[in-house]
Structure 1
Amino acid sequence: MKNLLLAWQFWAILSAIFAALTAVFAKVGIENINSDFATFIRTIVIMVVLAAILSMIGGWQPVSTISPRTWTFLILSGLATGASWLCYFRALKLGDAARVAPLDKMSVLLVALFAVTFLGEKLTVPNWLGIALIAGGTVLVAYKG
């Protein structure tokens, strides 16, 4: 069990499960509310839960131990996350969850492209084939014909 908790694949699968639940719960939750305000409520819930988790595991650390570079990239990540959530909730408000969520997951393709371009990561031919299949499948799921 300890090895499972240390495997990135385990956490990635849990992330996918929770992301799926997020789409379904959010679609119902934004039915009679402004999507931006719904994002605000969601953000408060996340902050409270994370503060509780950090307190339980003793994960708080002095702000002074965080480098300026780390601050910069965490702030940029936070801004990108906020923009993503706002766009995602707006898309859910306007569209079907079964089509919005897969299209949102085109981020998989973009992460691969950005990681290769900006982080110097290397992907193999089978990796690129998988990414192409994800992109094709996403387009087919999002298609409303």
Structure 2
Amino acid sequence: MIVRRAGVADVAVLADLRGIDGDGILSFAGWVAAHAETHLPFVAEIDGAVVGAAWLLIAERVPGNGSPERWYGDIQSVMVREEHRNRGIGAALMSAILAEARTRGLLHVTVHSGRRAVDFYLRNGFSHHRQLLLWEPADA
């Protein structure tokens, strides 16, 4: 297995993993290009075929006294094709993303997880945090 940063040549497979097809691919490709500095896709390949992907959003917090640059990350859109699950592919994607976060000196990395994936993130170094709160509109 190889885990690597995805590039322009991977847009079609990234779209496929997100369930985007037909006319949506062109729009998705434009979105990926427009967000290339803030949304970093990583892919996992087996025998040259992409079997999973995950994205790292890089964002900047408001500067603080003595901290002019405060960058953080958020993991988004983690997907491993069903026939390749439970083989360490998700963990390899997390390892690559967290290595990127360390290299960039990010303050922290968050993830908004579905219920079924919480244990996966806990096994990969994440923890529940008492200060992270969520607001959702009443009509959501």
Higher-Rg member (1/2): 1
The structure richer in strand per residue is 2
The structure richer in helix per residue is 1
Give the TM-score normalised by structure 2. Answer: 0.26
